[in-house]
Amino acid sequence: MMTEARLDVDLNGVRFPNPVLAASGCFGSGREMAGVIDLAGLGGIVTKSVTWAPTRGLSTPRMAETPSGMLNAIGLQNPGVEEFRAKDGPFIESLGVPVVVSVAGTSVEEYSQVTLRVRDLPGVVAIEANISCPNVERRNQVFACHADQAAEVIGAMTRLTTVPVFAKLTADVTNIVGVAQACVRAGAHGLSLINTLLGMAIDVETFRPRLGAVTGGLSGPAIRPVAVRCVYQVAQALPETPIIGIGGVTRAEDAVELMVAGAWAVQVGTANFFNPGAVAEVAAGIGEFLTRKGLAGPTDLRGKVQLRRNVPEPAHRRG
Amino acid sequence: MMTEARLDVDLNGVRFPNPVLAASGCFGSGREMAGVIDLAGLGGIVTKSVTWAPTRGLSTPRMAETPSGMLNAIGLQNPGVEEFRAKDGPFIESLGVPVVVSVAGTSVEEYSQVTLRVRDLPGVVAIEANISCPNVERRNQVFACHADQAAEVIGAMTRLTTVPVFAKLTADVTNIVGVAQACVRAGAHGLSLINTLLGMAIDVETFRPRLGAVTGGLSGPAIRPVAVRCVYQVAQALPETPIIGIGGVTRAEDAVELMVAGAWAVQVGTANFFNPGAVAEVAAGIGEFLTRKGLAGPTDLRGKVQLRRNVPEPAHRRG
Amino acid sequence: MIRARCEVLSNRRTGRYHSLTLVAPEIAEDAKPGQFIEVGVPEGRDILLRRPFSIHQASRRGGWAGTLEIVFDALGPGTAWLAEARSHDVLDVVGPLGRPFNDPGDLSTCLLVGGGYGAAPLYFLAEELRAKDKAVHMIVGARTAERVFKPLEGKRLASSLVFTTDDGTMGELGRVTDALPSVIKRTGAQVVYACGPNPMLRAVGEYCRDLEIPCQVAVEELMACGLGICWTCVVPFIALDGRGWWNVRACVEGPVLNAARIWWDRWLGASADDQTPPEGFTAAPEPQLAKPWPR
Amino acid sequence: MIRARCEVLSNRRTGRYHSLTLVAPEIAEDAKPGQFIEVGVPEGRDILLRRPFSIHQASRRGGWAGTLEIVFDALGPGTAWLAEARSHDVLDVVGPLGRPFNDPGDLSTCLLVGGGYGAAPLYFLAEELRAKDKAVHMIVGARTAERVFKPLEGKRLASSLVFTTDDGTMGELGRVTDALPSVIKRTGAQVVYACGPNPMLRAVGEYCRDLEIPCQVAVEELMACGLGICWTCVVPFIALDGRGWWNVRACVEGPVLNAARIWWDRWLGASADDQTPPEGFTAAPEPQLAKPWPR
Ligand SMILES: Cc1cc2nc3c(=O)[nH]c(=O)nc-3n(C[C@H](O)[C@H](O)[C@H](O)COP(=O)(O)OP(=O)(O)OC[C@H]3O[C@@H](n4cnc5c(N)ncnc54)[C@H](O)[C@@H]3O)c2cc1C
Ligand SMILES: Cc1cc2nc3c(=O)[nH]c(=O)nc-3n(C[C@H](O)[C@H](O)[C@H](O)COP(=O)(O)OP(=O)(O)OC[C@H]3O[C@@H](n4cnc5c(N)ncnc54)[C@H](O)[C@@H]3O)c2cc1C
Ligand SMILES: Cc1cc2nc3c(=O)[nH]c(=O)nc-3n(C[C@H](O)[C@H](O)[C@H](O)COP(=O)(O)O)c2cc1C
Ligand SMILES: Cc1cc2nc3c(=O)[nH]c(=O)nc-3n(C[C@H](O)[C@H](O)[C@H](O)COP(=O)(O)O)c2cc1C
Ligand code: FES
Ligand code: FES
């Protein structure tokens, strides 16, 4: 008889009942989904990024579908941290699912101020610093584009709170490992990899950009190979640092792929849109996968990529 | 009666009968395809990248399919520039289709030496400097990752030949516009955007990387939004510089999208693999598109993206 | 909201449109006019997102016999695929979603204005209003006759009905808004419900606002989720006191919205990139806010 | 090579496998044993690349009646989709591709060794060899009985036939390589043709090399194009003089290759990352190169 695998994970002190979280901006704060699905199966929820002031976001159209992916240009619409505290705070406290609050801003000062207003919310197990959203007014507001700027934001946030901070990075850089290392040196507890890739689409009938904001962020299965690569590169360089893998997870196998590359947990974004039950289904699927493989838990996947060739061949080659 | 659109393009002196070329590494030198399809419909052929010495390339598996895309890790297998001259030179001369020779190397010296051996080949209208292939031994061999290194290679090549040099860039950088500007200052006649994105995939049954080389280059429709964005950004910054758009073109509409973003011509890569007639079909489709729209030629598309909102609404919004 | 695997009962052409009937008892049970469903495209295709469609009919036959009907125009890959669905195929459906048209309360004379496939949910609304003994008048318009949706169904349901077509192939030549003034005058409409292309909704909404007639419109905006979690589907919406605005989600705060409170210019017009409302926008509360729409 | 839209004549199960017959007169006309076709997956799916399959039978009935048959195992998305193909569906096919098995020339006793679906092209080869009055012996192996491909067809074609299964459910218990020595001895095979999983080809090839029996194998490597333009499908291949090696493309230089010249260790084994051949590799020319395979 096979024993069932345990799914709980411990990211150097940040614990989740299973390794699959809902990604920021793709699940609200969970409140919207509470009536739709059973939230109990979730490993955790990363909230929609919250900024200091209420933010209306960008003009529509805000999304465009692309092959196996989508572009979005929401522009961090959110009611601001005060209303977030008032409306989502009580919900988060009562939820029973670990919540990570995603914090965004356009200056080090803004990240700091928002951090101060969310660090004490009950139910919040960590803060994710969204320093990589491509949908900001100027590219120089994407702090994760430069190691020094990223470190400055993360340093300011980690000085203000004992709540563990995860730095969410972008793949749109020459050297993601350098940015990751700078964030860890600045005090980041862990890393969330990756945010959307900067992309664009044009309607060939009208010659108009398909997004009101012209450019936007590419997400979905299309970007998974880039996410796997980023997780792998960073995990090789920083094996002790918890990494949350993000990008194109729609099925348990996709999550396993990111974990084998080096992720300690994963997040599911776009898949929620077409499958509201995606997070819990991926988590359950990981459980079945582990059990089928006779593995005890997610740590048996983490970073277990086989770089040597002398491991068994896939079945079709054995005949 | 509608007059038929003309398809020929002039990239500041480099002329192609139509704006659709076969991309490097995705069409051989054309020799392999000569028996398979009619090469007359092609705008041009960019050869598989050629290096100084014969190069055996990387271990198999060399490809992995991903959602709407594929990863490859060929590692620039080619017979070296001498055998290229001997075997492909006469073919290129007799072809009647403009050929761009793609040059690759691991040092400035190697790019220079190969340039010297291909610049005099009859039928060659331009050289493409592949300074962006992700499948090299060390990341620091991807010269297009850094503006100064890219400029050094391009500068060395352009000093050696009057044949126009196109710099082929990667999107895996923090600031592609900066790299593009550096290449143009160093003498690049034009820019080819983009090469594959660095990606990775893992077989979840065996935990082995799905590529022998572990990481590889992501191509196909999945990356088109990234290519459109890169072309747009660079075209906005360098409106006078010829840009060849590359990434995920499978149909005429995809080519039009890249041209409206700012490309003067396009290349078709991965699509040749599943549709050997892709290049000519895309070219013919652009002709039909232009005619249907009452446009005279490809220059009526180039960079014509409508950034103001006060242009006609798409049909479904008109009712 | 329910996610269900629904069997296709039938898939027929209706003029230019496709009319798809699904066995969906639980969704049909809850569905109200103005709400929509999201239909999944099958796995393994390169389009990921569900497609939203207004509910045209919900037959609550009790037990497992309840059906839902949607009507659609095959425009792109999703609808082209859906047009191929055959009886007994099974679709992945989420619904009912969004806020329905409101009950008119004490108001008794209703005018329903539909454009193109936008007429489909209005027939459902007409049934409900008639069941409440309201007077139901309709204007149904389209580009051309074959795009006038189920004209006979309209005639059966409405006390008075005007057709308009852009090319004059059926009913009056022109747009629904050309017919609107005379129909409002003739019928004494106290409340207007509209569904159709957004520019049509805008014209109807602005006309009603000037006359201080409450007007609800079911809008369309690109939707990634339909569930309120992605914020792609927003419409700029004016605060109740007329001071300021916010982007509301068409999928949860809408798709049915008070037309008078939509900031049309910003949403559909040239000023879309303008963050500052035009002169007088925040100063004067909207006329119809004196008679707040019962919600 | 031809690209054709081919109608599906039939799609049947054959044991564990699917056997698909296509109306493909032009491809069938040219096809030779050991060649393959590439079948397109339909547009709009998230897999882009064609799927390669060996040709099992090519019936050249003249005119438009010619058909092609392929046999496949439904393993992943592409083959699962293909398993659903129905009569009258139309598939996008490119072929025939690659180099076929060579004519044995003067050699008259042939042994054909197939593993799993790898037996499929060997029956085609057996027909051709018999038409040339060659003696044809076969070994057909598989993991289990239901994976032994068309045993009756084998019996009809071969002068002698041994089955092997890993689990003993049919024929001899064991692998084809367990039966190989005695069959070669008994039949006096002068030439061996093999198709099946690569490790099987390796074992057969290395055994034949030691006996200096020429051996051709039809290899499988991942293929993006099948046309020779992508360089994904390479096999490390030893130079004719035994000095040095090069990566040859399985789709154009193969899939049928001289087994003795494949550098198996580098291709399939642990030394794959090693750029330097092992001791003695370049020094000694391969034994069978003294009797070069007629090509
Ligand atoms: C609440 C709501 C209710 C709807 N009800 C109906 C209905 O009852 N019948 C019907 O035919 N269509 C309806 N639509 C529009 C329908 O969802 C789109 O036509 C459909 O998603 C197009 O999918 P596609 O893959 O065929 O085409 P795509 O290639 O995705 O689009 C084809 C064309 O339709 C436009 N389009 C795509 N999505 C939308 C959208 N959400 N809203 C408006 N235009 C869109 C695109 O811009 C493009 O011009 C509704 C949309 C919404 C938001
Ligand atoms: C020259 C040649 C001839 C072939 N002939 C046959 C045949 O006659 N019958 C048959 O069933 N299969 C044959 N194959 C293998 C067949 O092409 C693959 O099984 C098929 O492409 C798998 O596609 P998929 O989408 O179903 O699965 P995928 O998900 O793509 O793959 C499923 C499994 O098959 C393996 N696979 C995929 N492609 C290949 C490949 N090219 N070679 C080997 N393994 C592969 C994968 O690694 C994986 O384990 C042949 C392959 C080649 C190169
Ligand atoms: C509509 C949409 C909104 C998003 N909003 C946010 C956000 O507010 N903050 C953030 O850090 N990431 C945001 N993201 C990025 C996702 O969290 C995630 O990093 C990305 O989509 C890749 O994962 P996926 O492929 O699973 O979607 C958003 C993504 C989408 C599609
Ligand atoms: C199998 C393969 C081999 C390639 N080889 C080369 C190469 O040798 N030189 C080069 O500059 N680009 C090479 N490329 C990149 C393509 O030229 C092109 O930039 C990229 O694939 C994106 O275009 P696509 O999406 O149309 O394929 C290769 C791509 C593929 C898929
Ligand atoms: S469609 Fe996602 S919030 Fe409305
Ligand atoms: S599969 Fe492309 S070269 Fe062989």
What pairing do the DSSP bridges indicate for beta strands D51-54 and B14-16? unpaired
Cα A212–chain centre separation: 24
Give contacts of A149 with chain B, Cβ < 8 Å.
Answer: none
Judged by CB atoms closer than 8 Å, whether chains meet at B253 and A314 is answered as no
Cβ of residue C118 lying under 6 Å from some atom of ligand 1: no
Q: Most A CBs within 10 Å: which of B62, B195, B224, as the mutation test of the A interface? A: B224
What is the distance between the alpha carbons of residues C257 and B76, in angstroms, rounded to a whole number? Answer: 58
Binding pocket residue ranges, ligand 5, CB within 6 Å: C 223-226, 228-233, 249, 251
Interatomic CA distance for residues B198 and A231, integer angstroms: 12
Q: pLDDT at position C290, please?
A: 34
Tens-place pLDDT, residues D186-230: 999 999 999 999 999 999 999 998 898 999 999 999 999 999 999
Confidence of residue D295 (pLDDT cuts 50, 70, 90): very low
Q: Which of B239, B269, B274, B235 is nearest to B254 (CA)?
A: B269
Q: What sections of chain B are H helices per DSSP?
A: 31-34, 80-83, 89-95, 108-118, 147-160, 176-185, 224-237, 252-261, 271-274, 278-293, 315-318
pLDDT confidence of D285, banded at 50, 70, 90? very low
At residue D147, φ and ψ (nearest 5 deg) are -100, 5
Residue B309's pLDDT band (boundaries 50, 70, 90)? low
Residues of chain C with CATH 2.40.30.10: 2-97
Say whether residue D143 is in contact with chain A using an 8 A CB cutoff. yes
**Contact state of B202 with A305 under an 8 Å Cβ cutoff:** yes
> Which residue ranges does chain C devote to CATH 3.40.50.80?
109-289
Q: How far is the CA of D74 from the centre of ligand 2 (A)?
A: 9
Q: How would CATH label the architecture of D109-289?
A: 3-Layer(aba) Sandwich (3.40)
Residue D154 distance to chain B (closest CA, Å): 33
Index of the ligand 6 atom closest to the CA of residue D226: 1
What's the pLDDT at B314? 37
Sequence ranges of the domains in chain A: 9-318
Q: What percent of chain D has pLDDT over 70?
A: 90
Residue carrying structure tokens 């960590």: A126
Architecture of domain C2-97: Beta Barrel (2.40)
User: What tokens does B224 get?
Assistant: 């088109």
Task: Please give the number of the atom of ligand 3 that sits closest to the Cα of A48.
Answer: 8
**D86 interfacial to chain C (CB closer than 8 Å):** no
β-bridge pairing A44-46 and B243-246:
unpaired
Tell me which chain C residues have a C-beta less than 8 angstroms from the C-beta of A27. 229
B210-264 pLDDT tens trace: 999 999 999 999 999 999 999 999 999 999 999 999 999 999 999 999 999 999 9
**Does the C-beta of A170 come closer than 6 Å to ligand 3?**
no
As a dihedral over the C-alpha atoms of residue C126, residue C127, residue C129, residue C133, rounded to 10 degrees, the angle is 120
- Residue D59's contacts (CB-CB under 8 Å, 6 or more residues apart) are D28, D65, D66, D67, D68, D69
In this prediction the pTM is: 0.95
A–B interface: beta-carbon pairs under 8 A: 165
At B66-90, the pLDDT tens digits run 999 999 999 999 999 999 999 999 9
Q: Helix, strand, or coil here: A231?
A: helix
| B85 in Cβ contact with B79 (< 8 Å) | no
pLDDT along chain C (295 residues), means of 10: 92 92 93 96 92 94 82 93 94 95 90 95 95 94 92 91 94 94 95 95 93 94 96 92 87 94 85 50 38 41
The per-residue pLDDT for range B4-51, each reduced to its tens digit, is 789 999 999 999 999 999 999 999 999 989 888 999 999 999 999 999
Instruction: Kindly state the tokens that stand for A191.
Output: 């890393």
Half-sphere exposure at residue C92, Cβ-oriented, CA atoms within 13 angstroms: 12
Q: Is residue D250's pLDDT more than 80?
A: yes
Are C22 and C68 spatial neighbours (Cβ–Cβ below 8 Å)?
yes
Q: Which ligand is nearest to the CA of B204?
A: 2
pLDDT at D275 over 80: no
User: Given B172, B200, B311, which is nearest A261 (Cβ)?
Assistant: B200
Rounded to the nearest integer, the mean pLDDT of chain A is 93
What superfamily would CATH give domain A9-318? Aldolase class I (3.20.20.70)
For D129-147, write each residue's pLDDT tens digit. Answer: 999 999 999 999 999 999 9
D280 pLDDT band, cuts 50/70/90, is: very low
Q: Which ipTM did the prediction report?
A: 0.94
Find which of A139, A208, A292 to mutate to test the B interface (most B CBs within 10 Å of its CB): A208
Active site residue A145: no
| Ligand 3 atom having least distance to the Cα of A62 | 1
Pocket-testing residue among D49, D220, D268, ligand 2, by greatest number of atoms within 8 A of Cβ: D220
State yes or no: pLDDT of B112 exceeds 50: yes
Range in A274-288, B140-154, D150-164, D270-284 with the lowest mean pLDDT: D270-284
Q: Per-residue pLDDT averaged across D154-167, rounded? A: 93
H-only helix segments in chain C: 25-30, 77-83, 119-131, 151-157, 176-187, 198-211, 264-268
Pick the residue from chain C with its C-alpha nearest to B315.
C197
Q: Out of A68, A308, A319, name the one closest to residue D197 (CB).
A: A319
D residues 242-281 near B, CB within 8 Å? 245-247, 252, 266-267, 272-273, 275
Which ligand neighbours the alpha carbon of A62 most closely?
3
Q: Is the pLDDT score of B266 beyond 70?
A: yes
DSSP state, residue C33? T
Asked if C72 and C82 touch (Cβ cutoff 8 Å), the reply is yes
Q: What is the pLDDT of residue C270?
A: 56
What is the C-alpha separation between C126 and C158, in angstroms, rounded?
7
Residue D15 pLDDT level (bands cut at 50, 70, 90): confident
Number of helices (H), then strands (E), in chain C = 7, 16
E strand or H helix at A221: none
Ligand 2 pocket: which residues have CB below 6 Å?
Answer: A 314, 316; D 36, 51-54, 70-73, 75-79, 117, 120, 220-223, 255
Cβ–ligand 4 contact at B216 (below 6 Å) = no
Distance CA D39, CA C41 (A): 24
**Measured from the CB, is residue C75 less than 6 Å from ligand 1?**
yes
The number of the ligand nearest the C-alpha atom of C233 reads: 5
What is the rounded average pLDDT for all residues in chain B? 93
* Best residue of D37, D46, D48 to probe chain B, by most B CBs closer than 10 Å: D48
* Maximum average pLDDT range among B155-159, C280-284, D265-269: B155-159
Q: How far apart are CA A97 and CA D111, in angstroms?
A: 66
Q: Which residues of A209-223 are buried (b: 16+ CB within 10 A; e: fewer)?
A: bbbbbbbbbbbbbbb
Across A98-104, average pLDDT = 97
Ligand 1 centre to CA of D178 (Å) is 63
Distance, CA of C44 to CA of D78 (rounded, Å)? 10
**Subunits with 3+ C-beta pairs closer than 8 A to A:** B, C, D
Name the residue of A270, A273, A274, A282 whose CB sits within 8 Å of the most ligand 3 atoms, as the mutation to test its pocket: A270
- Among C residues 215-244, those touching chain A with beta carbons less than 8 Å apart: 221-222, 224-225, 227-235
Looking at all shown ligands, the one closest to residue C75's CA atom is 1
Strands C256-258 and C245-249: unpaired
Quote the CA–CA distance of B150 and D200 in Å, as a whole number: 48
Q: With cut-offs at 50, 70 and 90, classify the pLDDT of residue D164.
A: very high
Is the omega angle on the peptide bond into residue D255 within 30 degrees of 0, that is, cis? yes
Tens of pLDDT, residue by residue over A2-54, are 677 899 999 999 999 999 999 999 999 999 898 889 999 999 999 999 999 99
